[in-house]
Amino acid sequence: MKKNIFEDFDGYNDIVEEIEHSRKYGINYSAERHSPAQFINRLHPPILNLRVSDIIEETYSTKTLRLIPDDGYLPPFLAGQYVALFLDMGGIRTSRPYSISSPPNQTGFYDITVRRVDGGLVSNYLLDEVSKGDRLQGSGPAGNFYYNPLFHDKNMVCLAGGSGITPFMSIVHEIADCGIDRTVFLLHGNKNLDDVIFHEKFKAISDRFENIRYIPVIEEPPNDYDGSRGLITGDLIKEKIGNLEDKTFYLCGPQGMYDFCIPELVRLGIPHKKIRKEIYGAPVNICDDPGWPENIKAETVFKVSINGGGTLDARAGEPLIMALEKRGVTVPSLCRSGECSMCRIRIISGKVFQPKGVPVRKSDRQFGYVHSCVSYPLDDLEIAL
Amino acid sequence: MEGYDVVVIGAGNGGITASAAMAQKGLNILLLERHNIPGGCATSFCRGRFEFEVALHQLSGMGTVKKPGPLRMMLGSLGVLDDLEFVEMSELYSVMMPDGFKLSLKPDKEKVIKELQDRFPHEKKAIEKFFDLSYKYANDMLAAFIFKDPSPSREKYPTMYEYAFKPASEVLDSLISDPLLKAVLSVYWGYVGLPPNRLAFPYLAMIFFTYIEFKPFHIKGGSQALSNVIVNKFISQGGSVRFNCGAKEIKVENGKVTGVVTDDEEFIPARFVVSNASQVSTYVQLIDPQHVPNQVNREMRGRSLSPSAFSMFVGFDCEPDELGITEATTFLLDNIDFSDRVINQMKKLDIDDQLLVLSCYDVSDPEFSPPGTSQANIVTLKYGEPWLSIPPTQYHKTKFRCAEEMLRRVEAIYPAVRGHIEEIDVATPLTHMRYLGHPNGAIYGFEQYTKDSMFFQPGRYSPIEGLYFASGWTGDCGFHPTLQAGLSAAKSIVRKLETE
């Protein structure tokens, strides 16, 4: 056999010797089966097998499901993060994200707090069909809505709308339980006083802890109500928190609340980077979006063909992912709000509506990839999963 | 659908170019990817207003339209050049130290030499010698290996014969006495993962040569654009890709590949498999041990895992110049001792005075981030091992602690950064492990000692018939080499089929 030229390079023999030594004393990789997954799953398990250990009635519309692990281990999370629940409901496999409302220092269970939504497929299922002892599947904790010590202020101003209060329960509880050096101003907006989630619990915590201020804001309170009324306006925020400097603002609630509160904060001169907004699911009524084409009604039905194979019907007003799930086509999903990109699919032909500001990668846009949880058919579509 | 000719496992750089090149030749290819996007390292992710680049610092080997480099020619052969826009970076790199030292090099041989000679007048001759030697080495290499001289000899290529296996530090020490100059000249070791006393001189020589001759580049839309464009080309040529679907097992019978079992338990028969997964997981996790020849374990045994990385992705609410960031690639240097001390630091969790590299793509491409904003990708190399033993409950705390240390280092050079942070995300070695599936999150595969170069290792070949590799695990790392690895694997398979 012809000699390789590098065998004549200076130092060749030394390297050959080096290789022999290293092969004698090196690492036996074949003895380390499954190692990457084993470490990663402690932090980011693809699936968590959970059991409902308790159901706690919070208000007439809301319950907390206490979830314990079936195998005794729950991964850690940052207060404010969510888990997705994967559910099989009458043949439809779907998922929904829920903020963990229990604090991270409570390592034995995750609480999720669910409010009834009119026509809410999943919330009603969780409230009416699930009982103590039932098994549920969840994702590992995820999400980017948490206190980041690298650049957030130690003074947190938390603005919650209705059931958007749930991540703040985790945040406030952790601060109180662990004696964390942070101050929270929690403004919780609700329509009625009788359906304020965690009202008594927050009152009790703020009574005991000087660094926790709880300010419920009721839109339509009883006449004799002596707390804050109306909406969470800039003026109210300023009145309640005083100095606006050195504070980071955290918002969690429905789109309508963001549309109202963010301009209020901007009017107060709060810089963009100090306003942190949690994702909150797909818009309830996409046809109200300012960019929605007038000529298309929510009920309009389009044909969607998948991978050049089967065809299904999809309503314009319903996220594409739901139409797929209802016909038994499962697309992986996590945040269901357009952020995590798990449900990325490709539109080969036809048009979809995507609300403004959905974070889709530039080159994904170029090649027709969309996040199917916030994409609505405006045309007959051909898609690839 | 009739069966596939080849199943490609992993849509990283090597996987996608292998797939696209084979589809171009009319083969029926199935590309499997565990994640929902293609690219492996060559990806991006969105946070708030920002789309953060994950891995690409400076694309090498591109060259200009007039003077195309090997990568440009390769992308041209795949037919993807028209879909991509490249941005030439105007600096080779700059080096900054907290004491105010700053040096910036242009990708031009004469200018690099002049700039260094102005700053280190006492080393005038040495600087010239260093670059002369690097260029001589590179030219020998090209003539002997790229242009495949049929009768190479020591007389024709004396530099190559003498220097191919020499450590970089030995060459630097023999020419240069100023330790700061040595440090400034060897910061690119960070792109390979071995400090200069362990790094072979050829790496340093070739890096300088290729970046100066073919210029450093970036891509509009980041490395994700490259990955998407190549996959799109693959699909348009009839290729099939399944996202969210990894490989569970490569089936082997009588020493031959017979197919792949996917994560959802589907068996896909195929005579050829290209693995873009790590060589370790391919042989240890994907193939039944009884089918793995002893030779394979023996060869792997001699190799060690490269470092992983600790990275920070920062979005700022201002333009880069407001932060004092004026170069696209800056090495933040706090200590000029590049001996084994560096290895010891990489083995610790905490970040003290290690070498950091800060890339700010907005400097060369003002459209990279939204108007009025910018982003920086800050990286330091860390071995994955210490991260494996952190209790999960301490993980977030440790991650933030190390990120704080890194941020302080950056603040020491650019004091305004903290006040302009709008988004920040941190990737630890465990994050790299999670997204790449590499043992210990090793970003450069096996360590790239001379003994581990392609001269001495099996490269893309396997003793299992029908199995080929295309990744940084079987050769050099970095974008150009891994993209090339895919083409080489494709070529081997196509050639094999043609000879039948």
Q: Over its length of 385 residues, how does chain A's per-residue pLDDT go in tens digits?
A: 567 889 999 999 999 999 999 999 988 888 765 578 888 999 999 999 999 999 999 999 999 999 999 988 999 999 999 999 999 988 899 999 999 999 999 999 999 999 998 888 899 999 999 999 999 999 999 999 999 999 999 999 999 999 999 999 999 999 999 999 999 999 999 999 999 999 999 999 999 999 999 999 999 999 999 999 999 999 999 999 999 999 999 999 999 999 999 999 999 999 999 999 999 888 888 999 889 999 999 999 999 999 878 899 999 999 999 999 999 998 999 999 999 999 999 999 999 999 988 999 999 999 999 999 999 999 999 999 8
Q: What are residue B467's DSSP bridge partners?
A: B273
From the number of C-beta atoms within 10 Å of its C-beta (0-12, 13-18, 19+), residue A25 rates as exposed
* Most A-contacting residue of B396, B447, B473 (CB-CB within 10 A), to test interface: B396
Pair (B319, B417) in one structural domain: yes
Sequence-distant (6+) residues with CB within 8 A of A239 are none
Pair (B38, B75) in one structural domain: yes
Contact A271 B395 (CB under 8 A): no
Q: Which of A316, A317, A315, A361 is nearest to A338 (CA)?
A: A361
Contact A149 B404 (CB under 8 A): yes
Residue A81: both structure tokens together:
């993060």
The pLDDT assigned to A2 comes to 63
Give the range of the structural domain holding residue B292, as residue numbers without chain letter: 6-85+221-303+448-499
Q: Which of B393, B408, B482, B368 is nearest to B89 (CA)?
A: B368
Looking at beta carbons, which residues of chain A come within 8 Å of B418?
151
State the Cα angle at B7 between B2 and B10, rounded to 5°.
Answer: 140
d(C-alpha B473, C-alpha B305), whole Å: 10
Amino acid identity for residue B487 in this structure: L
Query: Does domain A155-277 fall into CATH 3.40.50.80?
Result: yes
The pLDDT assigned to B84 comes to 96
The pLDDT assigned to A34 comes to 57
* Most A-contacting residue of B30, B198, B228, B424 (CB-CB within 10 A), to test interface: B228
Which of B436, B465, B486 terminates a domain? The answer is: B436
d(C-alpha A338, C-alpha A323), whole Å: 16
Measure A244 CA to nearest chain B CA, in Å: 16
Pair (B457, B427) in one structural domain: no
Looking at beta carbons, which residues of chain B come within 8 Å of A76?
392-393, 395-396
Contact B166 A11 (CB under 8 A): yes
Per the structure, the count of domains in chain B is 3
Question: Which chain B residue shows the shortest CA-CA distance from A333?
Answer: B36
From the number of C-beta atoms within 10 Å of its C-beta (0-12, 13-18, 19+), residue A238 rates as middle
pTM: 0.96
Residue B281: both structure tokens together:
């997981």
Question: Would you kindly state where each structural domain of chain A is located, as residue ranges?
Answer: 48-138, 155-277, 286-384
Which of A9, A76, A364 is closest, CB to CB, to B395? A76
Contact B456 A15 (CB under 8 A): yes
The pLDDT assigned to A11 comes to 94
d(C-alpha B87, C-alpha B220), whole Å: 7
Pair (B151, B50) in one structural domain: no
Chain A and chain B share a number of CB contacts under 8 A equal to: 169
Measure B430 CA to nearest chain A CA, in Å: 7
The pLDDT assigned to B456 comes to 87
d(C-alpha B351, C-alpha A193), whole Å: 51
Q: What is the CATH number of the domain that holds B241?
A: 3.50.50.60
Query: Does domain A286-384 fall into CATH 3.30.70.20?
Result: no
Which of B285, B302, B420 is closest, CB to CB, to A26? B302
Contact A366 B225 (CB under 8 A): yes
Sequence-distant (6+) residues with CB within 8 A of B307 are B193, B346, B381, B382, B383, B384, B442, B443, B444
Q: What are residue B421's DSSP bridge partners?
A: B316
Pair (B432, B346) in one structural domain: yes
The reply to whether B443 falls in a domain is no
Contact A30 B284 (CB under 8 A): yes
CATH of A48-138 given 2.60.40.1180, 3.30.390.50, 2.40.30.10, 1.10.240.10? 2.40.30.10
d(C-alpha B100, C-alpha B335), whole Å: 13
d(C-alpha B96, C-alpha B103), whole Å: 7
The reply to whether B244 falls in a domain is yes
Tell me the CA distances in angstroms from A310 to A69, A112, A307, A327, one per residue in order.
38, 37, 8, 10
Q: Which of B494, B103, B179 is nearest to B339 (CA)?
A: B179
CA torsion B340-B427-A367-B226 (nearest 10°) is -10
The pLDDT assigned to A33 comes to 59
Which of B414, B436, B458 terminates a domain? The answer is: B436
Residues of chain B with confidence (pLDDT) below 50: 1
d(C-alpha A124, C-alpha B298), whole Å: 59
Which of B166, B235, B388 is closest, CB to CB, to A39? B388
Which of B436, B460, B482 terminates a domain? The answer is: B436
* Most A-contacting residue of B157, B451, B456, B473 (CB-CB within 10 A), to test interface: B451
Contact A40 B392 (CB under 8 A): no
Contact A342 B46 (CB under 8 A): no
The pLDDT assigned to B1 comes to 47
The pLDDT assigned to B415 comes to 96
